[in-house]
Protein backbone atom coordinates (compact mmCIF):
# COMPACT_ATOMS: atom_id res chain seq x y z
CA UNK A 1 0.00 0.00 0.00
CA UNK A 2 1.15 3.50 -0.80
CA UNK A 3 0.16 6.82 -2.27
CA UNK A 4 1.78 8.75 -5.11
CA UNK A 5 3.21 12.18 -4.46
CA UNK A 6 5.26 14.38 -6.78
CA UNK A 7 9.04 14.26 -6.61
CA UNK A 8 11.10 17.08 -8.12
CA UNK A 9 14.08 15.46 -9.85
CA UNK A 10 15.99 18.75 -9.75
CA UNK A 11 15.88 19.60 -6.04
CA UNK A 12 14.33 16.52 -4.47
CA UNK A 13 11.26 18.38 -3.17
CA UNK A 14 8.12 16.33 -2.58
CA UNK A 15 4.69 17.83 -3.24
CA UNK A 16 1.04 17.01 -2.74
CA UNK A 17 -1.39 17.81 -4.31
CA UNK A 18 0.25 17.94 -7.75
CA UNK A 19 1.95 21.20 -8.80
CA UNK A 20 2.74 22.46 -12.28
CA UNK A 21 6.20 23.72 -11.33
CA UNK A 22 8.34 22.99 -8.28
CA UNK A 23 7.66 25.68 -5.65
CA UNK A 24 11.22 25.31 -4.32
CA UNK A 25 13.39 25.39 -7.45
CA UNK A 26 11.00 26.30 -10.26
CA UNK A 27 11.78 23.08 -12.11
CA UNK A 28 9.19 21.22 -14.13
CA UNK A 29 10.75 17.76 -13.91
CA UNK A 30 8.19 16.39 -11.49
CA UNK A 31 7.61 12.66 -11.36
CA UNK A 32 5.33 10.49 -9.24
CA UNK A 33 6.94 8.61 -6.38
CA UNK A 34 5.40 6.17 -3.91
CA UNK A 35 5.22 6.98 -0.23
CA UNK A 36 4.27 4.14 2.07
CA UNK A 37 3.82 5.68 5.50
CA UNK A 38 3.62 8.84 7.55
CA UNK A 39 3.24 10.08 11.10
CA UNK A 40 -0.17 11.22 12.35
CA UNK A 41 0.25 14.80 13.63
CA UNK A 42 -3.28 15.72 14.72
CA UNK A 43 -6.67 14.13 14.19
CA UNK A 44 -10.29 15.19 14.58
CA UNK A 45 -13.71 13.56 14.27
CA UNK A 46 -16.45 14.65 11.87
CA UNK A 47 -19.10 12.30 13.15
CA UNK A 48 -17.70 8.84 12.35
CA UNK A 49 -15.11 10.22 9.94
CA UNK A 50 -11.59 10.69 11.33
CA UNK A 51 -9.58 13.38 9.52
CA UNK A 52 -5.86 13.73 10.21
CA UNK A 53 -2.78 15.67 9.26
CA UNK A 54 -0.13 13.11 8.26
CA UNK A 55 3.54 14.05 7.87
CA UNK A 56 5.74 12.09 5.48
CA UNK A 57 9.48 11.97 6.11
CA UNK A 58 10.63 14.56 5.22
CA UNK A 59 7.63 15.86 3.24
CA UNK A 60 4.87 16.43 2.14
CA UNK A 61 2.10 17.02 4.67
CA UNK A 62 -1.09 15.17 3.77
CA UNK A 63 -4.73 15.46 4.76
CA UNK A 64 -6.02 11.92 5.23
CA UNK A 65 -8.96 9.91 6.46
CA UNK A 66 -7.95 7.39 9.13
CA UNK A 67 -9.35 3.88 9.41
CA UNK A 68 -8.78 1.73 12.48
CA UNK A 69 -7.29 2.56 15.85
CA UNK A 70 -4.72 5.31 15.24
CA UNK A 71 -3.46 7.94 17.67
CA UNK A 72 -1.46 11.14 17.14
CA UNK A 73 2.21 10.22 16.98
CA UNK A 74 1.54 6.84 15.39
CA UNK A 75 3.20 5.78 12.15
CA UNK A 76 0.42 4.80 9.75
CA UNK A 77 0.38 3.07 6.39
CA UNK A 78 -0.83 5.21 3.47
CA UNK A 79 -3.26 4.02 0.83
CA UNK A 80 -5.07 5.58 -2.12
CA UNK A 81 -7.69 2.83 -1.99
CA UNK A 82 -10.83 4.12 -0.26
CA UNK A 83 -12.04 0.56 0.30
CA UNK A 84 -8.93 -0.76 2.06
CA UNK A 85 -9.65 -2.17 5.48
CA UNK A 86 -8.51 -4.77 7.98
CA UNK A 87 -5.64 -2.83 9.51
CA UNK A 88 -5.07 0.81 10.43
CA UNK A 89 -4.51 2.95 7.33
CA UNK A 90 -4.62 6.56 6.23
CA UNK A 91 -6.58 7.06 3.00
CA UNK A 92 -5.38 9.81 0.67
CA UNK A 93 -7.22 10.25 -2.65
CA UNK A 94 -4.92 9.83 -5.69
CA UNK A 95 -3.65 12.96 -7.45
CA UNK A 96 -4.55 13.52 -11.07
CA UNK A 97 -1.23 13.81 -12.87
CA UNK A 98 -0.56 15.69 -16.12
CA UNK A 99 -0.88 13.33 -19.08
CA UNK A 100 2.83 13.11 -19.90
CA UNK A 101 3.51 11.78 -16.42
CA UNK A 102 1.17 8.82 -16.88
CA UNK A 103 2.96 5.62 -17.74
Partner 1 sequence: MAAGSLRALRRPDGVSVIGAGESPYTRHPASGTTTDGVLADAVRRALADANIQASEVDGFGACSFTLGPDHAVDLAWRLGLRLRWLMQDTNGGASAGTMLQHAVRAVESGDASVVVLVAGDLMDQQVHLKMVAEYNRATAEQLVPLDMLGPNALFALLTQRQMAAEGLTRTDYGRLAVAQREWASLNPGAVYRQPLTLDDYLNAPMVAEPLGRYDCVPPVTGADAVVVAADERAAGMRRARVLGVSARYNTDDQTGDGLVTGLADCAPELWAAAGRGPADVDVVSVYDDYPAMALAQLKDLGLVAGGELPAFVAERLATRELAVNTSGGQLSAGQPGSAGGMHGLVEVVRQLRGQAGERQVAARLGLFSGYGMVLYRYGACATAGLLEAAG
- Could you give the CA distance from residue 36 to residue 90 in angstroms, rounded to a whole number? 10
Which C-beta is closer to partner 1: that of 37 or that of 95?
Answer: 95
- Where does this chain touch Zn ion (CB under 5 A) — which range of 25-33, 42-50, 51-59, 65-73? 25-33
Are 63 and 93 spatial neighbours (Cβ–Cβ below 8 Å)?
no
- Provide the binding-site residues for partner 1, judged by CB under 8 A: 16-17, 23, 41-46, 49, 51-53, 59-61, 63-65, 82, 91-93, 95-96
Alpha carbon of 76 to those of 8, 51, 55, 98: distances in Å? 24, 13, 10, 28
CA 99 to chain centre: 20
54 contacts which partner out of partner 1, Zn ion, none, CB within 5 to 8 A by kind? none
Instruction: Provide the minimum distance between the beta carbon of 84 and partner 1 in the complex, in angstroms, as a whole number.
Output: 13
Amino acid sequence: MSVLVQNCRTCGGRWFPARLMCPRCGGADLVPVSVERGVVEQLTHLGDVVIASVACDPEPLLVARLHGAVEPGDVVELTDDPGASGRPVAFVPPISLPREEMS
